[in-house]
Amino acid sequence: MSSRSRTPRPDVTALARGIRAGERAVLARAITLIESKRADHQQAARELVQELLPLTSKAVRVGITGMPGVGKSTTIDTLGTYLTGKGHRVAVLTVDPSSTRTGGSILGDKTRMPRLANDANAFIRPSPASGTLGGVAAKTRETMLLAEAAGYDVVLVETVGIGQSEITVADMTDFFLVLMLPGAGDELQGIKKGVVEIADLIAVNKADGDNVKRATVAVAEYRAALHILTPRSPNWTPPVMAYSALTGAGIGDLWAQVLLHRDRLSASREFADTRRAQQVKWMWAMIEERLVGRVKADPDVKARLPALEKAVAEGRLSPAVAAEEIAQAMGV
- Which residues are CB-neighbours of 324 under 8 A, at least 6 positions away? none
Residue 21 CB burial class (10 angstroms; 0-12, 13-18, ≥19): exposed
SS3 state at 205: coil
- Which residues are CB-neighbours of 160 under 8 A, at least 6 positions away? 72, 94, 95, 96, 99, 101, 127
Residue, of 328 and 105, whose pLDDT is higher? 328
Residue, of 307 and 3, whose pLDDT is higher? 307
- Check residue 66 and report its DSSP letter: E
Beta bridge partners of 90: 122, 154
SS3 state at 178: strand
Measured CA angle at 285 (ends 269, 4), to 5 deg? 130
User: How much of the chain, in percent, has pLDDT values that exceed 70?
Assistant: 87
Q: What is the 3-state secondary structure (H, E, C) of 93-138?
A: EEECCCCCCCCCCCHHHHHHCHHHHCCCCEEEECCCCCCCHHHHHH
Residue 7's pLDDT band (cuts 50, 70, 90): low
The answer on pLDDT for 190 being more than 60 is no
Residue 302's pLDDT band (cuts 50, 70, 90): confident
Give yes or no for a contact between 167 and 156, defined as CB atoms under 8 angstroms apart.
no
The answer on pLDDT for 139 being more than 90 is no
Tell me the average pLDDT of the chain.
Answer: 86
Task: Give the mean model confidence (pLDDT) for residues 105-114.
Answer: 62
Q: How far apart are CA 76 and CA 195, in angstroms?
A: 19
Give tens-digit pLDDT for 235-286: 999 999 999 999 999 999 999 999 999 999 999 999 999 999 999 988 888 8
The answer on pLDDT for 297 being more than 80 is yes
Give tens-digit pLDDT for 55-109: 999 999 999 998 888 899 999 999 999 999 999 999 999 887 665 444 444 445 5
Global confidence as pTM: 0.87
Residue 17's pLDDT band (cuts 50, 70, 90): very high
Phi/psi at 308 (5° precision):
-65, -45
Residue 194's pLDDT band (cuts 50, 70, 90): low
Residue 140 CB burial class (10 angstroms; 0-12, 13-18, ≥19): buried
Least confident of 55-64, 92-101, 202-211, 214-223: 92-101
| Domain annotation for the chain: domains and CATH numbers | 1-54 (1.20.5.170), 56-268 (3.40.50.300), 283-330 (no CATH)
- Angle between helical axes of 270-297 and 251-267 (0-180°, round to 10): 100
